[in-house]
Amino acid sequence: MLQKLVEIEQGRLKALGYDSIVTPVSVFVSDSLQIETIGNDTYILSGIRISKDDVLNDMHELTIVSPTESIQLSQQEIATLGTSVLKIFKEFIIIKTTDEIEYSADAEITPFRMDFVKISPIL
């Protein structure tokens, strides 16, 4: 399925007159609210490497939002989906991490990584 989504996005770019390059990317999340600007690139969420707190307690819920897609699950639930999590994000990504009680902008979280496939248009 991931390959099919990459091919569809590459086809869309080709129709606009661009070639594309595909690379794997990891986003390191260390704040409870983090914004990643991705510009003209397309990011496809392909997995997550959960924090040690979530391995033991399943205590963080993630909200991941962009103009084209959103998802709200715990880190463990996203990890359980494996490579079938596939969500397509464009322009920017807002990553909000809550603990088991509520969201706090200054809350400390255990860092974790999210894995994406990045599709970049090139001339």
**Domains in the chain with CATH codes:** 24-118 (2.60.120)
Share of the chain above pLDDT 70, in %: 86
> Could you tell me the pLDDT band of residue 91, with boundaries at 50, 70 and 90?
very high
Mean pLDDT of 12-20: 94
Q: Which residue has the tokens 């999340």?
A: 29
Is the pLDDT score of 103 beyond 90?
Answer: no
Is the pLDDT score of 85 beyond 90?
Answer: no
> Could you tell me the pLDDT band of residue 54, with boundaries at 50, 70 and 90?
low
Q: What are 68-78's pLDDT values in tens digits?
A: 999 888 888 88
Partnered with residue 121 across adjacent β-strands are 20
> Could you tell me the pLDDT band of residue 39, with boundaries at 50, 70 and 90?
very high
Q: Where are the alpha helices (DSSP H) in 16-110?
A: 52-57, 75-81
CA pair distance 121, 117, nearest whole angstrom: 13
CA pair distance 86, 42, nearest whole angstrom: 12
Mean pLDDT of 66-90: 84
- What pLDDT, on a 0 to 100 scale, did the predictor assign at position 53? 63
- Residues 41 and 120: beta-carbon distance below 8 Å: yes
Q: Please state the separation of Cα 105 from the chain's center in Å.
A: 19
